[in-house]
Structure 1
Amino acid sequence: MTLWDDISGSAPAAAKAYRMLEHMIVTLELAPASFVTEGALIERLGLGRTPVREAIQRLAWEGLLDVRPRAGIAIAPLHPGDWLRVLDARRGVEVVLARSAARFVTREAADLFHEAALAMQKAVISGNVLAFIQADKALDEALALAADNPFAARLAAPLQTHSRRFWFRYKADTGLAESAEHHVALIRSILDGDEEGAAKDAKRLMALLRGHAETAATR
């Protein structure tokens, strides 16, 4: 099953366009610092102009695209040092989300966490980096739902996407098992309703990523 199969047929076209474009940017299918036209994206996604344009605008607001009149659409570059800046901005809100998720997690969110953890573990066993990326995205969405704090979730989402993109570029070849271990520990604390444990696990995950980012910045 592909990413596109996973996107519900009943989902709004703009949401489909956003998920597809976000995935292409994160996995470097749209190369960093390259240019593309709106028309080319419309043809590539097989969706209408309006939903694709809405997705482009949203991704531009998140800093993943730069719309340049008469020049095209620039894909955000990847500067290794920027990963550290992303993580500095992300760390605090991840702790807020983790604490809140442990406090308010519902059965619906718990099911999503279980699915994400299982998908992540399967991706590690098979060495499937793209499946791991999808599982990581699913985990972030479960965290947003469980936390019941849309303000924190909206702040975190673009930072999570930027971080996922850096991780794919600089650590995907060796970091699956270690990353999965930290994510699963966070999920366990949340499902146990352990707010302090969830906060500590979120900090450990951010510290792990920061270590990767520091290594990438020195290359």
Structure 2
Amino acid sequence: MISASNDSSEPATARAYHALERMIVTLELPPGSFVTEGALIDRLGLGRTPVREAIQRLAWEGLLEVRPRAGIAVAPLHAGDWLRVIDARRGVEMVLARSAARFVTREAADRFHDAALSMQKAVLAGDVFAFLAADKAMDEALALAADNIFAARVAAPLQTHSRRFWFRYRAQTGLADSAAHHVALIQSILDGDEDAAAADADRLMDLLRGLAEDAATR
């Protein structure tokens, strides 16, 4: 059994979701593999209801597929699809960045500071898993700051898909460059500069698209 979350105050369904999402992103649940609901319950050490709800959410996001009588399939990874994810993500990321710069609160600012610090520490340590966690924290801070649940709901699954592709194809290179782009975006948001924040989000997507293009041609 693995620990679903270090935050015991988090609702069980959220703990199950975050744990399963992490297992999918880091390929602990391999792309194209099959698993049963019972096996996931045993691994997470959580009840059937929160695990089932987490599975349903991840299925809606395109990361799992529930197949009656066959089990639960983990979405396959095709390098060319990373380009499609980035192209779909670009516009909504710019919307979120611009809105975050306009509406950022003290709570969101504190989360951005923590995410930036964690990302920089991960780079210094060469810790890919810590970097992924910091990236996730930044995305959550962005959703909070933007105050646009509709854009955030569109962005969240695309961000998760992108992290999984990044982990599969480019996790061992470019941590510092990626962190620099993220920190620049955070700074523009905290400065309240909507145009700069949108431009930084666009540049971050350019960086990721370049990585995706390299992966697609391998």
Q: TM-score, normalised by structure 1?
A: 0.97
Q: Distance in 2 between matches of 1:164 and 1:188?
A: 22
Q: Give the match for residue 38 of structure 2.
A: 39
Number of corresponding residues: 217
Whole-angstrom CA distance in 2 between matches of 1:139 and 1:3: 23
Q: CA deviation at 1:24?
A: 0.2
Alignment check: 8 A CA contact 2:29 2:74 kept: yes
| Counterpart in the other structure of 1:173 | 172
Secondary structure class of the residue paired with 1:9:
coil
Q: Name the residue aligned to 2:137.
A: 138
TM-score (norm 2): 0.98
Q: Residue 4 of structure 1: CA displacement?
A: 4.8
Distance 1:111 1:15 in 2: 22
1:73 aligns to 2:72 (yes or no): yes
- Deviation of 1:163 (Å): 0.3
Partner of 1:64: 63
Q: Secondary structure at the match of 2:65?
A: strand
Offset, 1:127: 0.3
Instruction: Tell me which residue corresponds to 1:25.
Output: 24
> Where do 5+ consecutive residues of structure 1 fail to align?
none
Query: Deviation digits for residues 146-197 of structure 1, max 9, x if unmatched?
Result: 0000000000000000000000111110021110000000000000001000
Distance in 2 between residues matched to 1:4 and 1:123, nearest whole Å: 22
Taking only the aligned residue pairs, the percentage that are identical comes to 79
Give how far 1:3 is off: 8.1
**Alpha-carbon distance in structure 1 between the residues aligned to 2:99 and 2:173:** 31
Alignment of 1:76-95 (within 5 A): 76-95=75-94
The CA distance in 1 between the partners of 2:185 and 2:36, in whole Å, is 40
The equivalent of 2:191 in structure 1 is: 192
Which structure 1 residue ranges, 4+ long, deviate > 2 Å from structure 2? Answer: 2-6
Whole-angstrom distance in 2 between the partners of 1:3 and 1:134: 15
Deviation at 1:52, TM superposition (A): 0.3
TM-align CA RMSD: 1.1
